[in-house]
Every structure is written in C-alpha cells, then in structure tokens.
Structure 1
C-alpha cells in the first residue's frame, strides 16, 4: 500500500477514494476501523480509505478510532497517511479536526502537517486563510446554519487554533501561486517557526497539484479530497505506482432504484426540487411526526413498492433551516438527528430486502446510517457522477450499488442523471 487515508465521515471517504482512483490508484474503501487480520488484504491495494463516523463524535472517541485505523494502515505498509475532512471544514471549537490531526502527528512522530480543505471544482477555495463557498465567505454561506457544525468564522487559522493545542500557521496565496518549490520552502519555514498545522491557500486545481507535489514525502497530509489530486503523481514519479484506468460505467446488481435524503443543505434541497419537478414519486418525512412515533419505515417501504418499478422513488427529510431550528428547539438537536438517522437506517435495509439494490443516499450522517444497516464492509469505487461523488458497489455483505452524496455536492439534476452510469 502507498497511501492510507482516514476520513471522518462516509461520503467524504467516498469522495477521496474517487479522487485517488481517478489518479490511477487501485483504491478500496473500508467501512469502520479496519481489522488487524485484514492487513494482508489491504496491502494488495495502492490506496485504502477508511470511512469513520467521527466528525461529530466526542473528540476522544474520534482520536481513538483514528489512531486505531492509522495503526492498521501503517502495518499494511502505507508510505503516507491522509486525514480527510469536509471541504467546508465542518467542526466545532472542540474539534475534531485539530485533536485528530495532533494525535496523528504524535503517532507518526512528525512535527508538522498542512491543512487544505479547498476543492475549487465544488466551489471551495481558501484565500489568505479564509474559506469561501463560491464567492461567499464560509460564515455567510448556508453552512452558518448547519444543524451539527454551524460554521460562523471564515478564518480557518482561527477556527483550527481554537480546537488545537499547538500553533497554527498559514502559507498564503503568494507562496502557493509561485509553485511547488516555493510552497515546500514555505512549509519548512512554518515548521521551523514552531507551527504544528499550517493552513494553505488554494484557488485552482493547479494550486492543489502544486501543493500535492510539495507534500511529497510528508508523513501526514490533512484536508479535503481536492488536495489529494496531486498525490498519485508523486508515487508515479518515484516509480512506485503504475496507474490503472478508472471505470466509466458501474456493473450494478439488477433491481429497483431509490433515493434517500436526510441532508438539509441548500444543494440537496435544490436536487429534491428538480426531482419533484420531473415527476419522481416522492414522500416527505415530517420530523415532528417522526419523533412522535407517527412515521414507520414499514409504511414507507410499502409505499415505495407500490410505485412504478421503472422509476426511482424519493424519500426525504430535508427541511429548510427555519423548520430545522424549530424542530431542534422543540426536541433537542441530538434527538432530532438521531431519529432521522434511525429511520433511514431501518428503511435502507428494508428496501434492500425488498429488491431495491440501487440506492442513492444524500447526506453524510444519513449515508453512514444506511451503510451500517446494510452491513457493508467495504466499497469498490466506480464512475464519477459529479465532482466528489462516484457510484460504488459493495464488496462483501449485501450486494448493492450505492451513490453516497455529501449534502453540499452535486448539480441540481444529480438525482435524475446519476442512473445513466449504471449498467
């Protein structure tokens, strides 16, 4: 194995696995902390991406799971580790980006790493340490109302410093735009200045490729999937990787199609709107009715089975921020989120048992819940639907095709066009 990656949620892991696969790396995604007895199997791949559910876990739990994963990845031969988090830097003042990164630095006995969530293809850029979503500063974007990790500071140096013990620095645009030699020099200067973590600016794919080249040989890299764009080329230049051709179609199991959406992001709500306009059969889940016990997975499954088998069905709980705030105020943030996750987990398994073998799931927490209920141990990476979102097929366990979409990703017609890549 060349690269071992640890992602703090399932859709982020899939996003990263796609990026590495596009770069020619034979990549497998593992669900949950990998087992020590699977080291031999993992070592057969160029890259292994571990999908945890640690983004909003208590910090110590996130650290423990990440270190356990790192231990197995290193045992399997990983030359370099990558800690993957969201391109909108989803976290709180308690973590978990800072605590996990510092724990991995100590584990690897290395003194510094870079932090780069930028993903220009999806409108995420970093300038002078400030994260932008499109043309909008992070703190003014819809992420300011995220139900679990509201982002109300666009300055990533400040955000990361509040959740870290060591010093956080910045390598700004001037150095980044000058190319990999200058970037590497700036990173070395930051390390000499005592910074454990360094935010790096990035406005384009060229910047990401140059950052990746500058990071050649660094024991640990952290960021979104975008900065992984330049990593496969490092292994190719070193003669360690003979690139494989990524797939353009996914051989999917025969069966019916369903869309399960628990994301409340602006992008996902637009995708739901497009599906409704196109006449996709749909059922909306009312969170208040769900918590009151008036929504049953069995009834939703039965409704889905009655729809036209030649069309996908859409089941969603994706209210606007005002409704979300009202539900959370009435029932509590944790209870509301857990109720939705539990319903989709149960429903996902029921639909699979009923012959729905092609599932598109929107939202990181929802995707994690559904995959866990399906008892899928790993995913083989297929073709890209939109930047950051591929089709996958389960490797082991129940045979299903899965598209696991981060809430903020995908074009407006995502729910409609995804199915054309299956055969």
Structure 2
C-alpha cells in the first residue's frame, strides 16, 4: 500500500483539549496516523495535515450550550470539506458537561447537520475503569454519582443513569442498547439498532464493560455517519478502515525528538491528580503551589513561580491542585468561574515564560489547564505519539520549533504519572 499523503478518513470533534488527545492516542494505537488541531485549523496549515484522522480540539465542555453547538458545527463543516468519511464527537468518559447539556445538544445538532437519523452514545473506557451497564455509568466499582464526580467543581455529575441524563438534554427520543445485544455480536447490535430506529429512537446509550464490547460496537457501526462517546468507542474504528483497504501501512506513533528543559504543571482538582501531586511531594521533589487567593489579591505569584524554577536544577512541579474542601472554600470567596480562570491563566503565563527560558517539554494535568497552556504557547497542531498511560500520549507541536507535551485529563494516570510522562517525552523520537 502506498504511503503517499491521503485525505483524512475519520474526522473528530472533541469538547476539550485532553479529551482530544485521549482520542488521538486511541487512534494511533489502532494504526491511524493522527494530528490534533487546537481549534479549527487555520487555512495556512490545512495543507500540512498528512493524517488518517484529524481531531479538532475545542474548549466547549463548559461553555454555554449554544456556543458549544455553534463551534462544533463549524468544526464539522471544516472536516466535511476535507472529505472525512465518518465523524466522531468525543466527550469525557465521565459524561460531564454543563447542566444545560452540551453533550446532548451538540450530538443532536451534528446528527441533524449530517442528515442522519441515529447515533450511539457510549462513554465507556474499561481500561481506565469506566464501564456502562444497563445504561448506568460506573467509575471502577462505583456508580458515577458516588465516584467523586458528584463533587467536581465545574461539572458535577449526580446521576449515573445516562439514558435519563441524555434525555434531559435532547429533543429526540433516547434509548438503550443493552449488553445482551452487544454481547451477541455485530449482527445482534445491528438488529437492535434497527428496532430502536423503528421505535423512533435517535440516540441510544450503549452498554460496554470490556474492550471486546467496544471493538464489536465499532464494527457494527461502521456505516453510521456519526458516533459519539469517550475515546474507548474509537477502539474498533481503525480496523473498519483497514478492512476496507483504506488505511496506510506506516508507524503511526513516530514523533520527532525534542531537546530542552522540562516542567510539570497541574491545575486539576481530581482525585487522580491529587494523588500524583502527593506522590511528587512525598518524594521530596521541588514543587511550587499556586494559590488562587494570592492571585486574586494581586500578589506576584507568577514571578515567584518562575524564580522558584530558576533556583532549582531539578525538574519542578508547579501546581494549584487542592482537595475538594479546599476548592469549595476558594470558590465561596472568589466564585467557581473566577477561581478556575485565575489558575488556568496563571499556569498558561508560566508555561509561556518558561518556554522563553528554553523549557521545551511540558507535562500538564487537567483539561482546562491543558487548554490554557496550549493556547498560551500558541500551539496550532499536535502530532500524536506513543501512549504514556491509558488515554494520554506523548505529543509534539507543529509547525515551527517543536515542543513536547503530555496533556492529561485530570482523572487519568497512575500515581507515578508525572515521572512516566517526563521519561516518555525525553525518549520521544528515539528508535524503538
């Protein structure tokens, strides 16, 4: 098969930056050369997208639903103009967005724009402990509403019944593709979808408790114009294109090496990121805490953080991660939106200033934080490399002088993630 550039096969729209990277990671693992765009690509870089899949990262998870729909439709138009054969709308494996329902409203708008009458909603990602059974989302062994997500500072999730959650966000009828249909294989799924369509269902929450379920769902839905879900649902999509003889034979995970200094930036308040920060601190490694109250008071926090980095030969962690109680206390004083914005902008400015001091490798924890850092670094495109932890690959920016990044959703990664990410970024581009 020729390795010549070809038009993209799969066009993806993600509602946040780390979610986009998570999806791109899954596609690379499946053998699809993947480029992630930060927002809708500019005209002058469109010709550089030599990829089997393009993932457009929006920052639409927590914006007003009307804005999320508008941005998503603009991304869809761009992808269709490039000839993408199938569209994937990616949201978090914890199914969270605004109370008004960005997930449901965006899915419905995309479905209508594609002139299609049916799609699936499946946030399952078993490798990271997210499973769906009888329409209920579990995080490890706990229902979503008992997993800690009920305390999320921006998008709390208090209902694990995804059919009920999605129905509240949409005009069309929502149904359930139960596990007994999924476990029956491709033809069983297609038969159940036909019955759901006949009953007027436009979106169906799909059960999935294993990677095998996700592979069979992907194969069964090869002909759907639109799929929606977490990155796990993309597991089976590369094979669809491979069976059709459309996927190029190349090393999808290769990225160039990036030399320079390194830093870890953490803004997420999730349980996983708290554990990662705690591991770093317990090892006695240098860390500087960004206090949102000090930022609000006009104290020179950014300058202090930069001075702290300059004073240490070791890699530094700069973090604003706090416990749920600490987050609530800050939000009571500053408001949730202002507190989050202050931290994100501060970490973005710190990243930008550190780049000017020859820092070239960035490990970033938190979806909103990653978005702010990528924007502050003025990154347009990311070439997606090898996986660090489930859902988190190494990335290298393009065009221009390359930067290496690991952009981590708050809830992803083990306690030793920061170390693993730093090592992977240092090794990027080395022969396997």
Deviation at 1:294, TM superposition (A): 1.8
Residue aligning to 1:24: 31
Change in Cα spacing, 1:106 to 1:36, as seen in structure 2 (3 Å) is farther
Deviation at 1:45, TM superposition (A): 1.7
| CA RMSD, 1 decimal | 1.3
Deviation at 1:190, TM superposition (A): 1.2
Does residue 299 in structure 1 map to residue 312 in structure 2? no
Runs of 4+ in structure 1 off by over 3 angstroms are 35-42
Deviation at 1:253, TM superposition (A): 2.0
Q: Distance in 2 between matches of 1:80 and 1:337?
A: 35
Q: Decide whether the 8 Å contact of 1:3 with 1:80 is kept in 2.
A: yes
**Structure 2, unaligned stretches of length 5 or more?**
1-7, 428-432
Residue aligning to 2:167: 161
Count of paired positions: 419
Residue aligning to 1:395: 398
Which among 412, 415, 431 is matched to residue 412 of structure 1? 415
SS at match of 2:412: coil
Q: Distance in 2 between matches of 1:251 and 1:312?
A: 22
Q: Decide whether the 8 Å contact of 1:252 with 1:400 is kept in 2.
A: no
Which segment is superposed worse, 232-241 or 272-281?
Answer: 272-281
Which among 346, 350, 362 is matched to residue 343 of structure 1? 346
Q: Decide whether the 8 Å contact of 1:36 with 1:72 is kept in 2.
A: no
SS at match of 1:259: strand
Residue aligning to 2:241: 235
Q: Distance in 2 between matches of 1:328 and 1:194?
A: 43
SS at match of 1:183: helix
Q: Distance in 1 between matches of 2:42 and 2:197?
A: 34
Residue aligning to 2:131: 125
Residue aligning to 1:319: 322
Q: Decide whether the 8 Å contact of 2:269 with 2:323 is kept in 1.
A: yes
Q: Distance in 2 between matches of 1:292 and 1:189?
A: 59
Q: Distance in 2 between matches of 1:327 and 1:215?
A: 45
Which among 3, 6, 9 is matched to residue 2 of structure 1? 9
Q: Distance in 1 between matches of 2:230 and 2:141?
A: 19
Once the two structures are superposed, residues 15-45 of structure 1 have per-residue CA deviations (whole angstroms, 9 ceiling, x without a partner) of 1111111111111000102235655444x42
Q: Decide whether the 8 Å contact of 1:376 with 1:398 is kept in 2.
A: no
Q: Decide whether the 8 Å contact of 2:101 with 2:169 is kept in 1.
A: yes
SS at match of 1:350: helix
SS at match of 1:34: coil
Q: Distance in 1 between matches of 2:293 and 2:58?
A: 29
Q: Distance in 1 between matches of 2:309 and 2:423?
A: 21
Deviation at 1:259, TM superposition (A): 0.4
Change in Cα spacing, 1:155 to 1:280, as seen in structure 2 (3 Å) is same
Which segment is superposed worse, 107-116 or 326-335?
Answer: 326-335
Q: Distance in 1 between matches of 2:259 and 2:333?
A: 43
Q: Distance in 1 between matches of 2:309 and 2:408?
A: 21
* TM-score, L = length of structure 1: 0.96
Deviation at 1:268, TM superposition (A): 0.4
Residue aligning to 1:148: 154
SS at match of 1:419: helix
Q: Distance in 2 between matches of 1:85 and 1:241?
A: 25
Q: Distance in 2 between matches of 1:344 and 1:397?
A: 22
Residue aligning to 1:253: 258
Does residue 385 in structure 1 map to residue 388 in structure 2? yes
